[in-house]
Amino acid sequence: MKLTAKQKLQVAKNVAIEIPLEILQFLIVPIALLACDEKSENLPKWASWFDDPDYGVNGDDGWKGEHFPNGKNRTYFARLCWLYRNRIGNFSAKYLGVRVEDIDANSVRTQGDVFATYNKGQKSTECLVTCKMKDGRERFGYYREIRYGQSKWYCRVYLGWKLMDVIGMRQDNKAEYMDENDKKVLQTVWAINPFKRIKQ
């Protein structure tokens, strides 16, 4: 399963747009967090591009439960780690993201392992999801895991947009993907992690 030249160009374009902002993030976020108190849910408006669109500065349930339990997710350090991990979320969602309601549900196509994101390195696997927007633009999400033999490590690759969230979407079930608990906008992604530990 290979990406087309057009898909590779889309990734390159997203990277070129986002890298300057990601560099700027390392300067802006530590300062912006100084303006947040323990009750804050988001960064100040002037730094909103660098906030997380879904969970703000305090992280999701996994972050709160696994990494910083018992309210420690509201500390300066925990918030800094969260926003460095989930960089320029609002910018990505607002200017480059895929609005779920704008997806032509009949155009969603999947090649490969639809359960690839649940694999966690157990085997080498991959999945490509493509779709068209109502305005005719094409979007894709490519997810791959490469297991290193019998070692405890694997490589995870995720490129394009986070379309693994809309696998199985059709016109007759599109509403199920737009529930209040679902993400309204799927962000860009260009992440390659060559040393992910396999979870048993």
Q: Which residues of 164-173 are buried (b: 16+ CB within 10 A; e: fewer)?
A: bbbbebeeee
Mean pLDDT, consecutive 10-residue stretches, the chain (200 aa), reads 93 96 96 96 97 93 90 95 93 94 96 94 96 96 95 95 95 90 90 88
Measured distance CA(176)–CA(103) in Å, rounded: 13
Residue 133's DSSP bridge partners are 103
Contacts of 34 (CB under 8 A, 6+ apart): 76
Structure confidence at residue 180 (pLDDT): 80
Question: Max Cα separation, the chain?
Answer: 48
Q: At what angle do helices 76-85 and 5-33 cross, to 10 degrees?
A: 170
CA distance 197 to 72: 25
Task: Map out the domains of the chain as residue ranges.
Answer: 5-96, 99-197
